[in-house]
Structure 1
Amino acid sequence: MEVRCLGEDEAWDLFRQKVGEITLESHPDIPALARIVVERCRGSPLAVNVLAAVMAGKNSVQEWRYAIDSLTLSAAKFSGTEDEILPVLKVSYDNIKDERVKQCFQYCALFKKGGHIWRNDLVEYWVDEGIIDGREDRYKAEEECYGIVRYLVNACLLVEHKYGNTVTMPSQVHELALWVASNLGEEKENFIVKPNEKLGEIPKVKNWGEVSRMSLSENEIKKISCSPVCPKLRTLLLGFNNLEKISSGFFMCMPNLVVLDLTTNIGLRELPDGISRLVSLQYLNLSHTDIKQLPIASLRELKRLQHLNLEFTGFLKEIAGISSLSNLQVLKLYASFDLDINLVEELELLEHLKVLTVSVGDAYVWEQLMSNPRLASCARNVYFYECEAGETGIISLAETSSRLEDLTIYESNIREIKIDQRGKMCNFMYLVKVEISECQGLQDLTWLLFAPNLGWLDVRESPQIEEIISKEKAARFMDGEADESILPFLKLKYLDLACLEQLSSIYWSALSFPCLKKISVFGCPNLWKLPLGSSSANGCNLVIHGEEEWIEELQWDEEGIKERFTLKGRKSEPVTAYPQNQSELEMLRKRVVDLEEENRTIKQRLERIERFFWQQQQLQQLRMSPQSSIPTMAHPQGPQLARMLPPQTVIHQQRQTQTTLPDMPLKS
């Protein structure tokens, strides 16, 4: 997208706004020097923003003169380029004092120019690559990485997506990052960056011996048969290709490879034995692949492996022997296969484990995990799917599972979520997202009192839920009367409630909701009052969505409060939990663009399924093919629903069925 250049006055006004009047007025000579700085930006809004970020707070004339000298020197270094903005951006890079932050900045050049980069991916790469040392304290290292992302955003070297999950590196900044990563352009084969270039094979490289990082993600590579000698290669990104086979010789001469990312290669069913030669490997991502068996004998040779991602590996039946990977700090099993007792016993042997994501189908097994304080503290993302909670219908969250970030409960008979306080007040301060769908027997979510930073709550199709926060149970948690000094939802941004026939109350009194942007209520015929009052409307841009009739009949305790919120009634039914076909997916994308905040829920769901929608589509085609040996899934609504399953359901039924899916058809 072409960005319009600013006029002289526009550029000055933007710079003055960003750098601040206090800085500009700190010395009478600074405004004139600032004008010279702005001239060097050539009307580029990016350059103006970058230099303003560099100069904000610099109150001495010497600092401003030094900045002008730096721009002159930087322009000389870039004399061979046509881009007049790169010298300006180089000054911002030179202003970074911490060498580790510079390496993190360079790492961002491995991703597609102008494309979205997941913040969590950056954090994991930086820690597992060893740029930020997480050997002693991984949690502290991750927090430092998020701080570095924030620093680069504030320096205008990264642009944050409006929902905060992803960042983008502007094209010119990307050119700068590649330039400095290749030793100011002198070692261009140091970084091989070719994402999304429609490559059908590994590109030819003049000197493999000089390559330190290679990014070939989002291409069309199906087979790798070469055997390069890569003594310096540390990072290899091969995600989002069409990989089906990797020759054993490919990994034979990569002794210093630290990061190997193979995510979302749908046709990849096995790893070559040669992977055992990656003796320096610390990060291995096999998520969203069709790998059927984990070669534990080969992986056992990877003594330094500390991060293994097996999320959404629907064909993988077991990972017996995982305890032999004694240095594992991160093990991700979300939506792969259900946790069982044998696996819990193996997890107990992983002494260095810090992060665990799991799928749970048996409450008894979950209780065994929660009974181990160390393992409970590792739980980050937990997915209960068709979970049987036994006669009691109770699952527990241990006080030590305070690092829990994301909890999803889907099609389960969980009647109560119990907080195991053991005489101590719980605090799930990292929990930011809770989704509950088709949960039978659950009557309330009072335990969310202990989630002070919850940002998104989505509850739907759970017919027995009567209250979100129960006053009676809140008093029980507080050993007496409900203590209104502990208020829920102070960080809540989005509240989505749908198809909750018995729901009559969210909270018993008005709440302030300082961060709330949207409430969406559909199919809740007994909920006629929201916990909103005058305090809720202070500085608030809250939008309330619901059926037209429900919007009109809402009850308000205070006069004039209704007019302080934006009410949007709709005749249509609420959107289903997951897109059901390609056309609906496209429709949802368009609605996200057109309606933005109104469709926050849809946007969140799209982000969760974008990466593996193709896999679901292929599995559905196989299932409906006359040659397919997979039986139609039993369901009260018949075969039609089999074509509309969410990805988690498809994966679950893959591992439950006794019939093996046939090989994926080759592309013509």
Structure 2
Amino acid sequence: MHDVIRDMALLMVSGSDGNKRKWIVKAGIGMSDLPRQEEWQEAERASFMNNRITSLPDYGASTFPKLSMLIIHHNKGLKTIPPSLFASMPRLVYLDLSDCRITKLPKEICSLTELQYLNLSDNHITGLPAEFGCLGKLEYLFLMNTDLQIVPNGAISNLSMLKWLDIKENPLALEWWWDELKCFKGRHQLSVAISINATIDNIERLNMLPPNVSIWHLTLAGENISKLPNNYDLGTTQWGCRVSDKLESLYIVNLGLDRLVLAAGEGRESSFGCLKLLYFTELKLLEDISLNRVRLHNLRKIYIFDCPMLKDVSWVLQLPCLNSLSIVNCGKMEELISDVGNSNSISSSSIQHLFLGNIPNLNRIANRSLHFPYLEFIDVIDCPKLKKLPFGIEILKNKLKRIDGEDDWWNNLDWDDETIKDSLTPYFR
């Protein structure tokens, strides 16, 4: 768990002793209106998530003087927030308005002087009020998947206590993110999750961010795929160590690349040392992924979706801690591991979950048996040409729990010894 996320979780549960705190929870019960005021006027924490609330009442000032947490997540009919709401909850610390249909954030939100956590993700908000930067105690700000275009100067850069900013899946952030982050004035290290258009200029901007801003999650999206060369090295001069050394999650989406290299920067022994998750999707021209002097010793999960020209993923043998590999919709792939070399173990024996889906030409995983001492789950869906699994009866001595797939596929597998099939059949479903 990322340290900042852990701190956020502690914020949510701190002081939650049932003998001292009054909670009201009415989640997922289909309610269309908030409870009567007297029912929760003395509450300290309230959750009305997953309901059908379409409007919020106008409350008087300090109507809820003790309320520190309010969750109204996933009320799809809620479009407006009355300005009086915030004045009625002067001690609010935690506010979750995510996954509604809110279009405008009232400037009165800036009266929440105690607010530390604010989640506005998955709404249709187009702008932040000019006074937003006055939220002097705000530490966690989530603006994922919004329509945010208007961000006044200082609205984010002046948030002096901010530790976490999530603006990923927000394509309209392309203009304002740089102006706000380059002059961030916070007292703490700011961890940022962001989606950007994959241009050389944007990637170089990432490396010019101030030292108190770190990119934790990065989505490189291919709105202008012509701006990158067909063969591109991630981790070279354009990136520098400022980005690659802090990155924990990297999504590469819809780029017109035929070759992708994860590389160490010039004069450096390695890069991407903190990377835990790699996600490749909609890379229609990509034929090859390779590593160049990088030691991805923390990489845990790889997802590869909709890469129809990709030939294999032999490079995963270089990942010592990989525990989950998912490959889906890779039509040209015939062999998962085409170059085993002298190794007889995949990912230094760490892989736990292997998911293969809709790979119509896949005929084998590797050209010889591989050792999977920690493999627990195997999923094979729509891989009709895959006739043999790369292990034998020894897999039962390890941690295998389940094999998922179609009955026809399982019944038509080739086995060196039918007793192996008999022994593995109880694990198949």
Relative to the length of structure 1, the TM-score reads 0.49
Runs of 5+ in structure 2 lacking a partner? 207-234, 265-269
Residue in 2 that maps onto 1:412: 283
Alignment of 1:382-397 (within 5 A): 382-389=250-257, 393-394=259-260, 396=262
1:126 paired to 2:9: yes
Residues 341 and 365 of structure 1 are in contact (CA less than 8 Å); yes or no, is this contact kept in structure 2? no
Aligned-partner Cα distance in 2 for 1:363–1:469: 32
Residues 358 and 383 of structure 1 are in contact (CA less than 8 Å); yes or no, is this contact kept in structure 2? no
1:515 paired to 2:375: yes
Residues 468 and 507 of structure 1 are in contact (CA less than 8 Å); yes or no, is this contact kept in structure 2? no
Residue in 2 that maps onto 1:239: 73
Q: CA deviation at 1:343?
A: 3.4
Alignment of 1:518-557 (within 5 A): 518-525=378-385, 527-539=386-398, 540-546=400-406, 548=408, 550-557=409-416
Residue in 1 that maps onto 2:119: 285
Residue in 2 that maps onto 1:98: none
Count how many residue pairs are aligned between Structure 1 and Structure 2. 381
Alignment of 1:367-516 (within 5 A): 368=204, 369=206, 371-389=239-257, 393-394=259-260, 396=262, 401-413=272-284, 414-419=286-291, 421=293, 425-429=295-299, 431-432=300-301, 434-449=302-317, 451-471=319-339, 482-484=342-344, 487-488=347-348, 490-501=350-361, 504-506=364-366, 508-516=368-376
Select 1:306's aligned residue among 116, 139, 151: 139
Does the residue aligned with 1:245 lie in a helix, a strand or coil?
A: coil
Q: Aligned in 2, Cα 1:211/1:565: closer, same or farther, shift over 3 Å?
A: same
Residue in 2 that maps onto 1:250: 85
Residues 91 and 114 of structure 2 are in contact (CA less than 8 Å); yes or no, is this contact kept in structure 1? yes
Does the residue aligned with 1:303 lie in a helix, a strand or coil?
A: coil
Q: CA deviation at 1:532?
A: 1.0
Q: Aligned in 2, Cα 1:469/1:488: closer, same or farther, shift over 3 Å?
A: farther
Does the residue aligned with 1:192 lie in a helix, a strand or coil?
A: strand
Alignment of 1:591-606 (within 5 A): 598=429
Aligned-partner Cα distance in 2 for 1:129–1:259: 8
Deviations 1:303-327 (Å, cap 9, x if unpaired)?
22222222333x3347675444354
Residue in 2 that maps onto 1:561: 420
Q: CA deviation at 1:302?
A: 1.5
Residues 470 and 507 of structure 1 are in contact (CA less than 8 Å); yes or no, is this contact kept in structure 2? yes
Aligned-partner Cα distance in 1 for 2:422–2:115: 59
C-alpha root-mean-square deviation of aligned residues, in Å?
3.9
Residues 542 and 565 of structure 1 are in contact (CA less than 8 Å); yes or no, is this contact kept in structure 2? no
Paired-residue identity, %: 24
Q: CA deviation at 1:287?
A: 2.0
Residues 228 and 253 of structure 1 are in contact (CA less than 8 Å); yes or no, is this contact kept in structure 2? yes
Q: Aligned in 2, Cα 1:442/1:486: closer, same or farther, shift over 3 Å?
A: closer
Q: CA deviation at 1:535?
A: 2.3
Q: Aligned in 2, Cα 1:453/1:363: closer, same or farther, shift over 3 Å?
A: farther
Residue in 1 that maps onto 2:159: 325
Q: CA deviation at 1:427?
A: 1.0
Q: CA deviation at 1:245?
A: 0.9
Letter in 2 for 1:304: K
Q: CA deviation at 1:129?
A: 4.2
Letter in 2 for 1:309: F
Q: Aligned in 2, Cα 1:402/1:354: closer, same or farther, shift over 3 Å?
A: farther
Does the residue aligned with 2:282 lie in a helix, a strand or coil?
A: strand
Q: Aligned in 2, Cα 1:567/1:471: closer, same or farther, shift over 3 Å?
A: farther
Deviations 1:567-594 (Å, cap 9, x if unpaired)?
89xxxxxxxxxxxxxxxxxxxxxxxxxx
Aligned-partner Cα distance in 1 for 2:404–2:364: 17
Does the residue aligned with 1:332 lie in a helix, a strand or coil?
A: strand
Q: Aligned in 2, Cα 1:303/1:441: closer, same or farther, shift over 3 Å?
A: farther
Runs of 5+ in structure 1 lacking a partner? 1-119, 133-176, 473-480, 569-596, 599-668
Residues 378 and 401 of structure 1 are in contact (CA less than 8 Å); yes or no, is this contact kept in structure 2? yes
- Structure with max Cα Rg: 1
Q: Aligned in 2, Cα 1:196/1:518: closer, same or farther, shift over 3 Å?
A: same
Q: CA deviation at 1:128?
A: 4.1
Residue in 2 that maps onto 1:590: none
Aligned-partner Cα distance in 2 for 1:442–1:227: 61
Q: CA deviation at 1:346?
A: 4.8
Letter in 1 for 2:311: Q
Letter in 2 for 1:462: C
Residue in 2 that maps onto 1:181: 18
Residues 456 and 493 of structure 1 are in contact (CA less than 8 Å); yes or no, is this contact kept in structure 2? yes
Residues 449 and 486 of structure 1 are in contact (CA less than 8 Å); yes or no, is this contact kept in structure 2? yes
Aligned-partner Cα distance in 1 for 2:192–2:374: 32
Does the residue aligned with 2:356 lie in a helix, a strand or coil?
A: strand
Letter in 1 for 2:69: T
Residue in 1 that maps onto 2:53: 221
Higher share of residues assigned helix = 1
Q: CA deviation at 1:275?
A: 1.0
Q: CA deviation at 1:405?
A: 4.4
Q: Aligned in 2, Cα 1:209/1:521: closer, same or farther, shift over 3 Å?
A: closer
Relative to the length of structure 2, the TM-score reads 0.73
Aligned-partner Cα distance in 2 for 1:121–1:237: 20
Alignment of 1:563-642 (within 5 A): 563-566=422-425, 598=429
Higher share of residues assigned strand = 2
Deviations 1:428-457 (Å, cap 9, x if unpaired)?
24x33x332221432222343455554443
Q: Aligned in 2, Cα 1:487/1:359: closer, same or farther, shift over 3 Å?
A: same
Letter in 2 for 1:247: P
Select 1:193's aligned residue among 14, 20, 25: 25
Q: CA deviation at 1:562?
A: 2.5
